[in-house]
Structure 1
Amino acid sequence: MITCLIIDDEPFARDELATQLAEAPDIEIVGQCGNAIEAMQAITRLQPDLVFLDIQMPRISGMELIAMLDPATMPRVVFVTAFDEFAVQAFDRHAFDYLLKPVDEQRLQQTLEKVRRDLRPQAVTALAPSRLEHLPCYSGQKLKVVAVKEVEYVFSDLSGVHVATAGEQVHTHMTLKVIEEKTPLVRCHRQYLVAPGAIAEIEVLEAGAELTTRAGARVPVSRRYLKPLKQLFGFH
């Protein structure tokens, strides 16, 4: 059974595609998402084999969502788009496949046949933006879109990955590795990333160091990352 997730901000489009997919006996729809934050949570939790992803979504686009995923666990992605065929050609060679809206039944069947034949990983991250402007986060039942420029630091512990701004601390399903690669945040500790602009002072200690953010938070700095962090500000 091939598990799939449908991601589209238009409920009608999701339902229509789900109805078409329901006719395939070997395709199991494990969920539907209306935005990128819900999608991040669902992909992490459900680990689908296949994702049908709308490119044009509000706040965080389908392409930005791709940039937020860990390439090592990337599902196969079929882009669903209203772009014309000429625009689609620009990313056709990177995607597993694409569908134009409204989705044609015969074209969908061709995509499913391709999925059944080919289960190799794909390099769709070549399409993703190199830098992220937002992080998809959540706090309890609230879904939040946090601007990267508002983030002071990010850290991980046994309960997951946490994003701290000057005013609140929320959670994200993104990994520290992807956040480090896709944002200006820098590593200061094995479990911490910090925004250089949020650093107010660095205190050197016997076993490493500790920095204070402009909002007053205390963040550990390990010996390994102390020198490059000091050099970032011109200290030797």
Structure 2
Amino acid sequence: MLSALIIDDETPSREELKALLASASDIEVVGECANAIEGLAAIHRLRPDVVFLDIQMPRISGLEMVGMIDPSALPRIVFVTAFDEHALKAFEEHATDYLLKPIEQERLNKTLDWLRSDAQPKAMTLPASVSRLTQIPCTTRNKIFLIPLDDVEFVHTDQSGIHVSSHDRSGVTELTLKLLQERTALVRCHRQYLVNLEKIREIELLDNGSAEAVTHTGKRIPVSRRHLRDIKSQLLLS
């Protein structure tokens, strides 16, 4: 049995695909999401075998969303799109497979046969424009929002999740510290913290060899002895 997640901002499109997949007794739709932020959370929570992902979605596109998935949780991706054949050529090298809207049962069956064969997905080489993140998707109790990377002061992790802090808001993200370190300009300053060097006002050196970075808004961020030298080097300090 293969588990599938559908991510598409259009309800009729999700319903159409669910109806088509219902004819396959070995495919279980474990969830559906209306936007990329919901989709990121669902992927990490449900760990589906395959995600049917719309390319054109508001705020965060399907391609951008793929760039936000931790590689260890990356399922096989089938892009679903209304682009015509010619326009789709730009996306082929970044997809494991794709379906054109409106989806035809015969074409879907070919995709399902490929999934059943347990073939390894092609390596996904993301376009340069989405390999680096410019915003971090976050949630609070009743909101879904994006924090521009330029506004982020620091990110830290604890038992309740990955927390993103800016000068005027904070939220929890599904992105990991490792992914954020690889795809943003945030710098590791502690095992549990990444910091935006441009937001640091001063660094206070402590007696034990560690330090605290103080942001322009007065927030204090631990800097471990292990990472202090790297931080000082990037700030061109001896």
Q: Tell me, yes or no, whether TM beats 0.5.
A: yes
Paired residue for 1:148?
149
CA drift of 1:184 comes to 1.1
Greater mean alpha carbon deviation, residues 79-88 or residues 42-51: 79-88
Offset at residue 150 of structure 1 (A): 1.2
Report if aligned partners of 1:40, 1:136 keep a CA contact under 8 Å in 2. Answer: no
CA contact (8 A) 2:136 2:149 kept: yes
Matched, 1:205 2:213: no
Q: Does the 8 Å contact 1:17/1:103 carry over to 2?
A: yes
Gaps of at least 5 residues in structure 1 are none
Partner in structure 1 of residue 80 of structure 2:
80
Does the aligned pair in 2 maintain the 1:74–1:121 contact within 8 Å? no
TM-score (norm 1): 0.95
Amino acid paired to 2:236? G
Structure 1 residue 122: Cα displacement: 4.1
- Matches of 2:150 and 2:29, distance apart in 1: 36
- 1:9 paired with 2:9, answer yes
Partner of 1:138: 139
Q: Does the 8 Å CA contact 1:180/1:187 hold for their aligned counterparts? A: yes
1:158 aligns with 2:154: no
Amino acid at match of 2:124: V
Aligned to 1:103: 103
Identity %: 52
Q: Which amino acid aligns with 1:108?
A: L
My pick for the range that moved more, 164-173 or 113-122, is: 113-122
Matched positions, count: 236
Q: Does 1:177 align with 2:175?
A: no
Q: Take 2:122 and 2:202, find their aligned partners in 1: how far apart are those partners?
A: 43
Contact 1:202 1:209 in 2 (8 A): yes
| 1:231 shift after superposition | 1.8
Kindly provide the amino acid, as one letter, of the partner of residue 83 in structure 2: F
SS in structure 1 of the partner of residue 131 of structure 2:
coil
CA RMSD of aligned residues (A): 1.4
Structure 2 distance, partners of 1:64, 1:116, is 27
Task: Give unmatched runs, 5+ long, in structure 2.
Answer: none
Give the AA of the match of 1:70. Answer: D
